[in-house]
């Protein structure tokens, strides 16, 4: 019992829930304390967007659960500083939904960072390389993120990006819609081929990365409209205005936003293009056995919040 007489909730006899961090289409995220290892973690209860529908279809519920666990186990095998670390899975017959135990990333999201001010082309290029490294590690493990956007990129205190929320993206169906027609994820960051039902391309994540870079430097999304359906239509067909603030990053961004996925630069070429753009300190992993450069003044915020998976 706590001082207020309320019993604290403990998951699996080990993880004490301390408070909510956020909620999204596929679950609730909590800040929690690992009572065995005496450290704070992020705990995500992975639940479907329409529990009533799955309750009426036990086979679909089992498939969903198995997919959650398979993706979590695959992510747990990825050892990359730009991918959020999964520590543990809680899954038992008496628990309604699986829980995923993750590292608690101390820092702010890119979305919060952009609310303070835009990135320079060099800062965005370095950020892009960090996110690209995380995507390449995931792709090598057979995982496509499918929801790369500023809210799903966390920035450690030294500025290095961490890509989160693979679970929401991995649980999407082949059309990106639930059985009730509800869109999972953010329409403005979905690649056009995915809207048309062409799944399974690593290039789709690179489109989303290109849109993230566009927004980070230009300060506005070129295809966001007043409704999700209007946004999807714009992603499919409307002309993308050329960046005006992106300098040498502009041609790279526009190459990523080619509606033909086969025409987009592949990951290795993209990394080379981003590396050629002059950087400023503050983003990207430090070189081995070195200390990461401090954040430039424009990137300093205090105090930074802590997150595991951000709300989506």
- Is 262 labeled as catalytic in the residue annotation? no
Q: How many helices (H) and strands (E) does the chain have?
A: 10, 11
The residue among 180, 186, 168 whose CA lies nearest residue 29 is 168
DSSP 4: T
The total number of residues written for the chain in this structure: 312
- C-alpha distance from residue 35 to each of 3, 22, 71 (Å): 19, 22, 26
Q: Which of 12, 57, 147, 262 does the annotation list as catalytic?
A: 147
238, two tokens: 């409307």
**40 contacts 22 by C-beta, under 8 angstroms:** no
Q: Strands, E, within 66-170: which ranges?
A: 86-90, 99-103, 105-106, 108-109, 153-155, 161-163
Region for residue 240 given its phi and psi (left: phi exceeds 0; alpha: psi -120 to 50; beta: otherwise): beta
The residue among 25, 31, 154, 11 whose CA lies nearest residue 83 is 154
Phi and psi at residue 87, to the nearest 5°? -95, -35
49, two tokens: 């967007």
CA 131 to chain centre: 9
Point out the residues that are catalytic. Answer: 147
């Amino acid at each position: 019992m706590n001082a207020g007489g309320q019993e604290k909730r403990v998951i699996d006899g080990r993880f004490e829930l301390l408070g909510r961090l956020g909620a999204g289409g596929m679950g609730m995220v909590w800040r929690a304390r690992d009572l065995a290892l005496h450290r704070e973690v992020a705990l995500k209860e992975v639940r479907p967007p329409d529990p009533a529908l799955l309750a009426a279809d036990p086979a679909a519920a089992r498939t969903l659960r198995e997919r959650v666990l398979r993706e979590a186990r695959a992510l747990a095998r990825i050892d990359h500083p730009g991918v959020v670390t999964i520590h543990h899975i809680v899954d038992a017959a008496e628990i309604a939904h699986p829980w995923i135990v993750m590292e608690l990333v101390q820092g702010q999201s890119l979305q919060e960072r952009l609310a303070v001010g835009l990135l320079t082309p060099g800062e965005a290029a370095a950020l892009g390389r960090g996110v690209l490294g995380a995507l390449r590690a995931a792709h090598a493990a057979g995982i496509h993120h499918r929801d790369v956007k500023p809210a799903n990129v966390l920035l450690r205190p030294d500025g290095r990006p961490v890509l989160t929320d693979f679970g929401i993206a991995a649980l999407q169906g082949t059309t990106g819609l639930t059985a009730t027609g509800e869109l999972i994820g953010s329409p403005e960051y979905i690649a056009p081929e995915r809207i048309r039902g062409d799944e399974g391309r690593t290039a789709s994540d690179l489109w989303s990365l290109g849109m993230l870079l566009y927004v980070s430097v230009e300060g506005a999304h070129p295809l966001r409209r007043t409704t999700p359906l209007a946004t999807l239509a714009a992603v499919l067909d409307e002309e993308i205005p050329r960046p005006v603030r992106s300098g040498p990053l502009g041609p790279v961004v526009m190459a990523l936003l080619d509606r033909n996925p086969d025409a987009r630069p592949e990951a290795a070429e993209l990394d080379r293009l981003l590396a050629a753009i002059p950087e400023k300190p503050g983003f990207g992993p430090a070189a081995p056995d070195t200390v990461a450069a401090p954040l430039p003044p424009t990137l300093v915020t205090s105090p930074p919040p802590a997150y595991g998976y951000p709300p989506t």
